[in-house]
Chain A
Amino acid sequence: AQKITQTQPGMFVQEKEAVTLDCTYDTSDPSYGLFWYKQPSSGEMIFLIYQGSYDQQNATEGRYSLNFQKARKSANLVISASQLGDSAMYFCAMREGVGGGGNKLTFGTGTQLKVEL
């Protein structure tokens, strides 16, 4: 079974609109972390946002927020006020086990986001 599932291979959004990128995960470990990374066409991986399994509140970082629904095992990324520069591939990733460093990340297949004028 896939540990991270991203069901949207491609998404389009109008500039200045909000967009939600879906991510569901599968783990039996009570301690885990969820991450979102952005990969522009240049190829680098840019960290966007992190949510720990025990965090009570949804994570936010500027225009990025994470809609964490633990019972549904989903961790959707919401980008508000989309900009042309948001056009990129977005990856959801999970760390299983107690955090603090050293645990590998398991990635989803990504969602290609295109922001249009």
Chain B
Amino acid sequence: EPEVTQTPSHQVTQMGQEVILRCVPISNHLYFYWYRQILGQKVEFLVSFYNNEISEKSEIFDDQFSVERPDGSNFTLKIRSTKLEDSAMYFCASTGSRETQYFGPGTRLLVL
């Protein structure tokens, strides 16, 4: 069964460093999303992406964040200068013609 994959599973970085989180959505899906979950809290929407552009973003998704679909399979989230409060689990999700969002296993980001 097709699934969303994410790499790396864990990332530790120093404050101020750039990180790129990678996702491979389900191959025939058209809509892509990033969510984050700070430890012990609920899942929060960051951004949605369709037809090679951002369709919606939340207040969390400020100028430090960017997304890209560099080729036909990958979908990336870049944080330019990480802060301590960026430490969280980051989930990628994708949707096809049906609206159910299928989530990847997540990347645990720890900013020191």
Listed in ascending order, the chain A residues whose CB lies under 8 Å from chain B are 33, 35, 37, 42-47, 50, 91, 93, 95, 99-110
Number of contact residues on B: which range applies? 20 to 34
Could you say which residues of chain A place their CB within 8 Å of the CB of B58?
A: 104
Q: Are A109 and B42 in contact (CB under 8 A)?
A: yes
Partner of A45, one of B45, B95, B106, B108: B106
**Which B residues touch A95, using CB under 8 A?**
99
Question: When the two chains form their complex, are residues A106 and B45 in contact, meaning their CB atoms are under 8 A apart?
Answer: yes
Within the complex, the shortest CB–CB distance from A59 to chain B, in Å, comes to: 11
Contact A101 B50, CB 8 Å, known A35-B100, A95-B99: yes
Interface string of B47-65 (1 = CB under 8 A from A): 0101000011010000000
Contact B101 A100 (CB under 8 A): no
Contact status A45-B91, CB under 8 Å: yes
**B105 and A44: CB pair below 8 A?**
yes
B75 touches A (CB below 8 Å):
no
* A57 → chain B closest CB, angstroms: 17
- The answer to whether A43 and B30 touch across the interface, beta carbons within 8 angstroms, is no
Nearest CB of chain B from residue A45's CB, rounded to whole Å: 4
Q: Which residue of A43, A102, A109 is within 8 Å of B106 (Cβ)?
A: A43
Closest to A44 in B: B105
Say how far B7's CB is from chain A's closest CB, in angstroms: 14
Given A35-B100, A37-B103, A101-B50, A43 and B45 contact (CB-CB distance below 8 Å): no
CB atoms of A103 and B99 under 8 A apart: yes
Given contacts A43-B108, A47-B100, whether A101 and B31 have CB atoms under 8 Å apart is: yes
Top 10 nearest A-B pairs (CB, nearest first) are A45-B103, A104-B45, A99-B99, A101-B31, A107-B43, A101-B95, A44-B105, A107-B42, A109-B42, A102-B31
